[in-house]
Amino acid sequence: MPLDDRYYLSSSNNDSINVLLITEGSGILKQAFTALSAAGYQLNIQSRLTPEDIAASDLIVAAGRSLSGIKNGLLEAVNSGKGLLIIPPEKAGIDDYNHLLSSLSPGLRITGISEDPLPGALELGSGDYFQDISTRDLRHISVYKYWRIPARLPALLIIGHKFPGLMMIDQGSGKAGLWLFGTEPGMTDIGFHPAFLALLNQTCRGLVRSADLGYITGQFLSDPDISEPTAPDGKKVPGLADVRGRVKWLLEKAGFYSALKNKLWQTLAVNIPPDESDLTMLEDDGLTRIMGKNQWSRQISPEKIPAGQRGLNNILLFLTGLLLMMELVLRSKLKIFLKKPLTTWWKIW
């Protein structure tokens, strides 16, 4: 996904998500949800929970340093069907979070924060939870610190090939997610990568059990409730009938499609498959506009050595090493020979 020039998020008035963000200050999460407002997210930031805020929200994001006085409210909210995303920051009060986690799943608790000397890589975990995203899209994301827990539940995101980074927990009528590597620069640089918005969007929609209206190019649109799809260029998509007479439409281009669903016009987002890319070459003029007043220069990488020449170089290098070994052997043999005493035989007549 980040290897694309564009990524399309679906937007529908009937599919909006009211987010209640519990935090002491504004940061990357606020910026992310603000950016996702075009995809139907409505953000409300509070430091405390009130019954009115809970009733008006579909998803609660707990990302504050302290959960004192609101743990029971969070638990009641998820039991009643609200989505809950738990993101402990670097300076979180772990006792508060552990009290909440143990109520969600017995024995689930944070045991400490990582102290790895090198940043960990982020990878996709079990299942096909994330659409339009591949592990390749996450390879440039670094995780500097993360909260460690006993790895008992399947992880949707994995840190350093083995530690859980994101997990889902069914609770009552709702669902809770545990995001263990934060979002701020002290723990990770994910907020500076395009994949973050896609990960956050699909994580949140999974927590509120909201239908994801995203599609992939090459797929056939065959929903019986959908009709008259229009492509991004404004042209009608021709329908193809199968042997049973059911009509389906091929999604050939990435972009926003419009279609009738249950007699209401809706916008459908179509992206290219996660293992493909639609990047285009950037010319000097375009790069100059992007760089502005910054100093930059174009450099040409050194010419590649032909494969045949590389093979000859390897042979010559091997022969050189062999000659050096022979020289060392001869020197050692000669040294042993010179150390032997010389004996002269005299013949007496």
Pairwise CA distance, residues 30 & 184, whole Å: 11
Percent with pLDDT over 90 in the chain: 18
Q: What is the pLDDT of residues 19-64, one digit of tens each?
A: 999 987 768 999 999 988 877 888 999 877 788 888 889 999 999 8
Task: Round to whole Å and give the CA distance between 195 and 3.
Answer: 9
Q: Which domains are assigned to the chain?
A: 13-207 (3.40.50.880), 214-271 (no CATH)
Instruction: Give the span between the Cα atoms of 18 and 324, in whole angstroms.
Output: 73
222-267 confidence digits (pLDDT tens): 877 788 889 888 889 988 887 777 888 888 888 888 888 877 888 8
Provide the whole-model pTM: 0.64
Report the DSSP beta bridge partners of residue 19: 43, 59
Rounded Cα distance, 29 and 61, in Å = 9
**Cβ-based burial of 45 (10 A; exposed 0-12, middle 13-18, buried ≥19):** middle
Strands 264-271 and 239-241: unpaired
Mean pLDDT of the chain: 80
Q: How far is CA 139 from CA 180, 203, 238, in A?
A: 18, 19, 39
Question: What CA–CA distance (Å, rounded) separates 238 from 82?
Answer: 40
> What confidence score (pLDDT) does residue 21 get?
93
- Are β-strands 120-124 and 142-143 bridged in parallel, bridged antiparallel, or unpaired? antiparallel
Spatial distance between the Cα atoms of 283 and 278, rounded to a whole number of angstroms = 16
Share above pLDDT 70 across residues of the chain, in percent, rounded to a whole number: 80
What is the 3 state secondary structure string of 19-87?
EEEECCCCCHHHHHHHHHHHHCEEEEEECCCCHHHHHCCCEEEECCCCCCCCHHHHHHHHHCCCEEEEC
Residue 104 has pLDDT above 50, yes or no: yes
Which token pair is 185? 């620069």
